[in-house]
């Protein structure tokens, strides 16, 4: 079941197309990061998913049900959003949180419990009786997240929740979101990939309103296994990469490998890059003025992408279908959470 | 006042307060509103009738009607309006009885079928008042026409009621007898809302005007004016008579008309007790109204003095 | 002159309860009128403030023009409606306090409507979407909006109250200035002025202002304390 689905959704402001999504789907229970530079349409996308903004054309489905903008209200109990520039009502943080629960039908005690939990989770206990209008930017975002968590909705949308947050708080928040007992589908935006990996199990890239398959990194989900005095990261297909750092045995991690760190060769070479895989060139696409992205299909669960200059591609005479070797150093591997 | 309506308790208490306030405030109001009138044999509820008149500026009716109410249990709501509007309200059926002082209009009113009969209530006189210095020497006039001519010749300011009321028509008749059309800076046309306003204006401008003796005497101590013609009151000049009559209305115009109660009021006002109270009514130690003992019968033809 | 005033004021109260009656009538009538007008004007004001529809600008202009309705004209219009043969004649409201309330509702309504809708238009546009996105439902969202602009709402009610408390034209036309029933402070002042009782009339005017002053003090404290 798809928690969220967009089909041919477009939105324009002042004649400028800010969002142009042919197709987007988010599996239920997944945690998706929306990455992209400022102005790429992340907030608009989330705003549409949160039923705040209406797309100009297109269809949206929540929990496989078509959102017909007349029956919008019935979806409100399913989706919460924590905005980037959150609006708070007059009164203290407590009053704002209380209001957010006032439509939930929960008894008073349950409301108070949830409010307490949210405040603790976001480290906002001291600010309980202060007016959010006096908060700093970071405090407001945390308050916004605290508010969005209250109703324990199946879909949780967060707009740049980690921005302006220090490392420790961000980690705590990410862990808490992963550990949420009701396992919501989470879609959150960020322009920092490091933040994305704290929480996401898949990443969508947004460029100028369009979904782009291109991320600057290869991303894999791999399981760690202790080997000797190090670890190996293994895919479900049995491939493994050696990782020199400290990991937790048998735990699944998100592993990234920057496309610039992949070196291609026609023959297997012996070099300081100890990870080598052979495969066929599946795609060659121009991604920038001078760069080209080569996708190599080493094995079904390990597609490797490498960024080359256009010149290198030409002089290397690469074509689709060619067999090549991809090499990268263990230090090029980054492991997250 | 911390918090907004989101605080559930605040919202509930606000609703409660405003609802209570609205109710406590509305109850007496709508309790006062006259419901669809019952037949007048319902003795349990106090009956009230509506009287429209111009005579109440002096406070006469406010003063004497409580006696009527205590005797009969009928409350009289007195609405003040000039003759023209009073008769309009009577034609529309918005009142139960009307008391005015314009015989010509009253006769027309009855002939048109709106009224059944008119009854004499009281009288006073129209008089010329003016500054105590009397620059036009009105005081030496022997007729009202002479007085008018004297005012016009001296160029002193005269304020005309200018609203086609009885006194205005009286004034115009006098000018017509003199074969003059008054105009110029000395002739001011000021249709004031009440006669009281008229004499206040005359006082301010130290001008001459026609006013009824009751109005004048009730305000005399605040005014720097005197009655200059006629020198004695009541005079013998029938043209100056200002007669107040009460008119019973035709129930076929208004099926809800409280005719029985209105008739009771008419009987009382024109009867011995009413007349005694009217003649006894004083303001500043002056009796304002005179009741002619002969003028007590119902008159439907215009000739008086029967 | 000052001593005369003081003696007039105390004289007013020592005579029969007419003055207190007039005060009571004035306030009862005017307060009822603004609250009843608010019952209709608030939801309409919400509608006008939030909706974008084709005729909106014309409607704004018409409403603003209605703000300038002279009170005596409202009295005449009210009379035409309430007279026995008129559309509302069957209720027999003419010359009762209810008729004065009716006239004052007509006066108060455009004030409350325009001020509520303008307040909403200048309010933060994120209020309703934020409230709705939290699943509180439309009614609560609108109440939240009103709560956010409540200072302006209070001022609106005060403005409407001022307009109707001090008016004379409609009160006289529709109420008839009947002693003990529809005689308000303002109609009493008119009566006294017409009788030449200038200092009594002025004294009564001052008497009217005292409770009004108190109300204004309370409102001021209320609006200035909630500045957070």
Neighbours of chain B (3+ CB pairs under 8 A): A, C
E strands within chain C? none
Q: Nearest Cβ partner of C98 from B29, B52, B254? A: B29
- C126-181 tens-digit pLDDT: 999 999 999 898 899 999 999 999 889 998 999 999 999 999 999 999 998 888 88
- A130-151 tens-digit pLDDT: 999 999 888 898 899 999 999 9
Partner residues linked to A186 by β-bridges: A31, A156
Contact C127 A87 (CB under 8 A): yes
Interfacial residues of C (vs B; Cβ cutoff 8 Å): 28-29, 31-32, 35-36, 83-85, 90-99, 101, 140, 143-144, 146-148, 150, 176-179, 181, 191, 193-198, 222, 225-226, 228
Instruction: Tell me what pLDDT residue A57 has.
Output: 92
Cβ atoms within 10 Å of B269's Cβ, excluding its own: 27
Give the residue from chain B lying closest to A93, CA to CA. Answer: B3
- Partners of A67 on chain C (C-beta within 8 Å) are none
Residues near B19 by beta carbon (within 8 Å), at least 6 away in sequence: none
Chain B: give the shortest CA distance to residue C76, in Å. Answer: 12
- CB-based contact, B8 to chain A, within 8 Å: yes
- Rounded CA-CA distance A275/A285 in Å is 24
- CB-based contact, B37 to chain A, within 8 Å: no
Q: Nearest Cβ partner of A51 from C133, C148, C226? A: C133
Neighbours of chain A (3+ CB pairs under 8 A): B, C
Chain C: give the shortest CA distance to residue A118, in Å. Answer: 15
Q: Nearest Cβ partner of C147 from B6, B35, B57? A: B6
Map tokens 């009004």 to a residue: C212
Residue C225 lies in a domain: no
* Domains identified in chain C, total number: 1
The runs of H, that is alpha helices, within chain A are 42-49, 93-101, 108-121, 137-149, 167-178, 193-199, 310-316
Q: Residue B14: pLDDT band by 50, 70, 90 thresholds?
A: low
Residue C42 lies in a domain: yes
Q: Report which of A159, A184, A173, A80 is spatially closest to residue A124, judged by C-alpha positions.
A: A173
Q: Residue C226: pLDDT band by 50, 70, 90 thresholds?
A: low
Contact B6 A92 (CB under 8 A): no
Return the SS3 of A127.
Answer: helix
Please give the residue that has the higher pLDDT: either B238 or C26: C26
Chain A: give the shortest CA distance to residue B8, in Å. Answer: 8
Residue C162 lies in a domain: yes
- Partners of B2 on chain A (C-beta within 8 Å) are 91-92, 95
Residue C101 lies in a domain: yes
- Rounded CA-CA distance A146/A223 in Å is 32
Q: Nearest Cβ partner of C28 from B29, B33, B219? A: B29
- Partners of C140 on chain A (C-beta within 8 Å) are 102-103
Low-confidence ranges of chain A (pLDDT < 50): none
Read off the pLDDT of each residue in B166-183 and give the average, rounded to a whole number. 89
Q: Which domain holds residue C74?
A: 25-185
The CATH number given to whatever domain includes residue C46 is: 1.10.3720.10
Instruction: Tell me what pLDDT residue A301 has.
Output: 65
Return the SS3 of B27.
Answer: helix
- Partners of A97 on chain B (C-beta within 8 Å) are none
- Rounded CA-CA distance B21/C23 in Å is 17
Q: Nearest Cβ partner of C148 from A51, A90, A131? A: A90
Instruction: Tell me what pLDDT residue B290 has.
Output: 86
Q: Give the architecture (CATH level 2) of B125-240.
A: 3-Layer(aba) Sandwich (3.40)
Instruction: Tell me what pLDDT residue B261 has.
Output: 92
Contact C98 B21 (CB under 8 A): no
Partner residues linked to A265 by β-bridges: A325
Instruction: Tell me what pLDDT residue A289 has.
Output: 58
Give the residue from chain C lying closest to A95, CA to CA. Answer: C144
Interfacial residues of C (vs A; Cβ cutoff 8 Å): 124, 126-127, 129-138, 140, 144, 147-148, 226, 228
Residue C200 lies in a domain: no
For chain A, the distance separating the N- and C-terminal CA atoms, rounded to the nearest angstrom, is 26
Read off the pLDDT of each residue in C36-61 and give the average, rounded to a whole number. 90
Contact C140 A91 (CB under 8 A): no
Chain B: give the shortest CA distance to residue A305, in Å. Answer: 53
Least confident of B29-38, B183-192, C75-84: B29-38
Q: Give, as one character, the DSSP assignment of residue A322.
A: -
Return the SS3 of A122.
Answer: coil
Residue ranges and CATH numbers for the domains of chain A are: 2-212 (3.40.50.300), 217-336 (2.40.50.100)
Angle of helix C71-82 versus helix C97-122 axis, rounded to 10: 120
C-facing residues of B in 14-73 (CB < 8 A) are 18, 21-22, 25-26, 28-30, 32-37, 50, 52, 57-59, 62
Q: Give, as one character, the DSSP assignment of residue B238.
A: G
Please give the residue that has the higher pLDDT: either A276 or B159: B159
- Partners of A94 on chain B (C-beta within 8 Å) are none
A86 phi and psi angles, rounded to 5 deg: -70, 145
- B77-99 tens-digit pLDDT: 999 888 888 999 999 999 999 99
Read off the pLDDT of each residue in C117-122 and give the average, rounded to a whole number. 92
Contact A92 B3 (CB under 8 A): yes
Return the SS3 of A93.
Answer: helix
Contact C124 A77 (CB under 8 A): no
Does ipTM top 0.85?
Answer: no
Contact C95 B35 (CB under 8 A): no
Contact yes or no for C26/C97 (Cβ under 8 A): no
Contact A98 B6 (CB under 8 A): yes
Hey, of C124, C179, C224, which one would you mutate to test binding to chain B, going by the most B CBs within 10 A of its CB? C179
Hey, of C85, C89, C96, which one would you mutate to test binding to chain B, going by the most B CBs within 10 A of its CB? C96
- Partners of A90 on chain B (C-beta within 8 Å) are 3-4
Give the residue from chain B lying closest to C35, CA to CA. Answer: B22
Contact B6 A89 (CB under 8 A): yes
Q: Nearest Cβ partner of B29 from C95, C101, C148? A: C101
- CB-based contact, B2 to chain A, within 8 Å: yes
The pTM for the full model equals 0.74
- pLDDT beyond 70 at B29: no
Instruction: Tell me what pLDDT residue B3 has.
Output: 36
The two three-digit tokens of residue B91, written as one number: 């034609």
CATH topology agreement for domains B47-124+241-299 and B125-240: yes
Return the SS3 of B281.
Answer: coil
Hey, of A88, A93, A95, which one would you mutate to test binding to chain B, going by the most B CBs within 10 A of its CB? A95
- pLDDT beyond 50 at B35: no
- Rounded CA-CA distance A323/A265 in Å is 9
Residue C211 lies in a domain: no
- CATH class of the domain whose range is B47-124+241-299: alpha beta
- CB-based contact, B250 to chain C, within 8 Å: no
Contact yes or no for B247/B100 (Cβ under 8 A): yes
Hey, of C127, C135, C148, C225, which one would you mutate to test binding to chain A, going by the most A CBs within 10 A of its CB? C135
Residue C191 lies in a domain: no
- Partners of A54 on chain C (C-beta within 8 Å) are none
Contact yes or no for B96/B249 (Cβ under 8 A): yes
How do the domains of chain B map onto residue ranges?
A: 47-124+241-299, 125-240
Instruction: Tell me what pLDDT residue B22 has.
Output: 55
- B104-123 tens-digit pLDDT: 889 999 999 999 999 999 98
- pLDDT beyond 70 at C82: yes
- pLDDT beyond 80 at C3: no
For the ranges B32-46, B247-261, C187-201, C212-226, the maximum mean pLDDT occurs at B247-261
Contact C195 B37 (CB under 8 A): no
Which string of DSSP letters, residue by residue, matches C6-33? HHHHHHHHHSSTHHHHHHHHHHHHHHHH
- Partners of A91 on chain B (C-beta within 8 Å) are 2-4, 6-7
């Amino acid at each position: 079941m798809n928690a969220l689905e967009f089909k041919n959704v477009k939105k324009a402001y002042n004649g400028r197309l800010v969002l142009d999504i042919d197709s987007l789907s988010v599996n239920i229970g997944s945690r998706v990061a929306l990455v992209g530079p400022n102005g790429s349409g992340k907030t608009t996308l989330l705003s549409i998913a949160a039923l705040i903004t209406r797309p100009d054309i297109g269809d949206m489905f929540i929990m496989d049900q078509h959102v017909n903008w007349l029956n919008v209200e019935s979806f409100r109990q399913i989706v919460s959003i924590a905005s980037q520039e959150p609006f708070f009502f007059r009164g203290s943080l407590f009053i704002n949180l209380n209001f957010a629960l006032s439509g939930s039908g929960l008894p008073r005690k349950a409301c108070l419990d949830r409010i307490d939990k949210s405040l603790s989770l976001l480290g906002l206990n001291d600010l309980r009786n202060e007016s959010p209008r006096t908060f700093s930017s970071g405090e407001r975002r945390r308050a916004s997240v605290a508010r969005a968590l209250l109703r324990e909705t199946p879909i949780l949308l967060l707009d740049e929740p980690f921005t302006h947050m220090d490392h420790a708080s961000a980690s705590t928040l990410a862990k808490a979101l992963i550990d949420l007992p009701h396992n919501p589908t989470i879609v959150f935006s960020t322009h920092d990939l490091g933040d994305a990996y704290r929480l996401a199990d898949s990443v969508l890239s947004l460029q100028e309103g369009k979904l782009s398959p291109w991320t600057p990194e290869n991303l894999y989900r791999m399981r760690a296994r202790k080997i000797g005095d190090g670890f190996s990261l293994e895919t479900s297909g049995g491939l493994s990469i050696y990782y020199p750092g400290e990991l937790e045995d048998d735990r699944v991690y998100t592993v990234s490998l920057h496309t610039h760190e992949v070196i291609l060769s026609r023959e297997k070479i012996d070099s300081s890059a100890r990870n080598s895989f052979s495969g066929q060139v599946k795609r060659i696409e121009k991604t920038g003025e001078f760069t080209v992205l080569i996708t190599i299909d080493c094995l079904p669960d390990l597609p490797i992408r490498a960024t080359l200059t256009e010149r290198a591609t030409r002089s290397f005479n690469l074509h689709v279908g060619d067999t090549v070797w991809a090499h990268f150093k263990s230090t090029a591997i980054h492991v997250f959470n | 006042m911390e918090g907004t309506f989101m605080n559930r308790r605040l919202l509930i208490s606000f609703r409660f307060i405003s609802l209570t306030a609205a109710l406590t405030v509305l109850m007496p109001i709508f309790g006062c509103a006259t419901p669809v009138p019952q037949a007048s044999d319902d003795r349990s509820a106090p009956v009230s009738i509506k009287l429209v008149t111009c005579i109440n500026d002096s406070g006469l009716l406010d003063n004497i009607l409580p006696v009527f109410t205590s005797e009969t249990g009928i409350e009289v709501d007195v609405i003040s309006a000039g003759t023209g509007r009073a008769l309009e309200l009577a034609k529309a059926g918005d009142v139960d009885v009307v008391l005015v002082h314009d015989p010509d209009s009253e006769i027309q009113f009855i002939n048109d079928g709106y009224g059944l009969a008119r009854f004499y209530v009281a009288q006073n006189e129209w008089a010329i008042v003016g500054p105590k210095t009397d620059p036009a020497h009105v005081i030496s006039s022997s007729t009202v026409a002479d007085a008018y001519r004297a005012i016009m010749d001296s160029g002193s300011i005269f304020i005309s009621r200018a609203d086609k009321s009885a006194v205005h028509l009286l004034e115009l008749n006098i000018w017509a007898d003199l074969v003059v059309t008054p105009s110029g800076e000395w002739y001011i046309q000021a249709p004031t809302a009440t006669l009281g306003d008229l004499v206040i204006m005359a006082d301010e401008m130290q001008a001459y005007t026609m006013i009824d003796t009751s109005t004048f005497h009730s305000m005399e101590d605040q005014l720097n004016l005197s009655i200059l013609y006629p020198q004695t009151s009541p005079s013998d000049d029938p043209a100056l008579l200002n007669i107040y009559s009460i008119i019973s209305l035709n129930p076929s115009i208004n099926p809800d008309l409280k005719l029985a109660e209105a008739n009771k009021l008419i009987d009382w006002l024109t009867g011995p007790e009413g007349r005694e109270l009217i003649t006894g009514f004083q303001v500043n130690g002056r009796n304002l109204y005179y009741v002619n003992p002969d003028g007590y019968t119902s008159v439907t033809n215009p000739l008086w003095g029967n | 002159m000052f001593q005369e005033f003081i003696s007039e004021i105390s004289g007013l109260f020592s005579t029969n309860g007419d003055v207190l009656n007039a005060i009571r009538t004035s306030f009862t009538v005017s307060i009822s009128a603004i609250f009843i007008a608010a019952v209709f004007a608030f939801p309409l004001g919400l509608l006008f403030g939030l909706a974008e529809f084709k005729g909106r600008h014309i409607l704004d202009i018409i409403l603003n023009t209605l703000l300038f309705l002279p009170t005596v004209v409202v009295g005449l219009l009210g009379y035409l409606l309430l007279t026995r043969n008129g559309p509302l004649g069957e209720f027999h409201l003419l010359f009762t306090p209810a008729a004065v309330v009716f006239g004052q509702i007509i006066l108060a309504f455009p004030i409350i409507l325009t001020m509520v809708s303008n307040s909403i238009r200048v309010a933060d546009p994120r209020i309703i979407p934020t409230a709705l996105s939290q699943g509180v439902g439309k009614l609560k969202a609108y109440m939240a909006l009103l709560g956010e602009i409540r200072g302006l709402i209070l001022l609106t009610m005060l403005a409407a109250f001022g307009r109707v408390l001090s008016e004379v034209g409609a009160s006289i036309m529709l109420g008839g200035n009947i002693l003990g029933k529809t005689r308000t402070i303002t109609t009493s002042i008119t009566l006294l002025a017409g009788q030449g009782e200038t200092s009594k009339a002025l004294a009564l005017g001052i008497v009217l202002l005292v409770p009004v002053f108190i109300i204004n003090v309370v409102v001021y404290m209320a609006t200035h304390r909630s500045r957070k």
